[in-house]
């Protein structure tokens, strides 16, 4: 079992001291998906949702969200984000849209939480922009796909 570093000897929650950790280039990519009704899926794919460019807005929202991670997750460190990107894919047979969010920094702690937050916010934005068409959309499979840098090195999600 790994040592849990977000607690002191008395069991109190603490912010981890990363001041002595080596600064390295760190990158993380998180994935997620949203499944929706066929009519809603085709409206998004064809750019026909009345509220506007669903994926364009979701991309900006995801980037904005990942930059706010330390304000949302209590013990996360505020990080200088050096690069952020979001990409979307379509799975026609499932009426699903996938999101891939990548964050990069040069620092003493990783950007996994930022990538996961960005992916989650992008999916929530898709839901918000499409809820008039389909309130039954399902968000899921949000996970860390890959991370590099730091003491623990490379991690890749295994299907």
Q: Give 159: exposed, middle or buried? Use CB within 10 Å, 0-12, 13-18, 19+.
A: exposed
- 128 is annotated as an active-site residue: yes
Of 8, 17, 87, 128, the active-site residue reads: 128
- Phi, psi (deg, nearest 5) at residue 32: -165, 175
Q: For strand 96-107 and strand 83-91, is the pairing parallel, antiparallel, or unpaired?
A: antiparallel
- Phi, psi (deg, nearest 5) at residue 2: -70, 155
C-alpha Rg value of the chain to the nearest Å: 17
Distance between CA atoms of residues 5 and 94, nearest Å: 40
Q: How many CB atoms lie within 10 A of CB 155?
A: 15
Catalogue the active-site residues.
Answer: 128
């Amino acid at each position: 079992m790994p040592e849990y570093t977000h607690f002191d000897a008395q069991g109190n929650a603490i912010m981890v001291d990363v001041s002595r950790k080596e600064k390295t280039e760190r990158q993380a990519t998180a994935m997620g998906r949203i499944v929706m009704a066929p009519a809603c899926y085709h409206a998004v794919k064809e750019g026909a949702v009345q509220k506007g460019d669903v994926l364009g807005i979701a991309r900006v929202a995801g980037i904005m969200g990942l930059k706010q991670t330390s304000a949302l997750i209590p013990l996360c460190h505020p990080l200088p984000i050096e690069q952020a990107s979001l990409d979307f894919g379509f799975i026609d047979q499932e009426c699903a849209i996938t999101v891939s969010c990548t964050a990069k920094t040069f620092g003493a702690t990783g950007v996994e939480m930022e990538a996961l937050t960005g992916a989650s916010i992008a999916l929530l934005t898709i839901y918000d922009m499409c809820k008039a068409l389909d309130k039954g959309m399902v968000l899921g499979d949000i996970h860390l796909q890959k991370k590099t840098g730091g003491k623990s090195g490379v991690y890749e999600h295994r299907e």
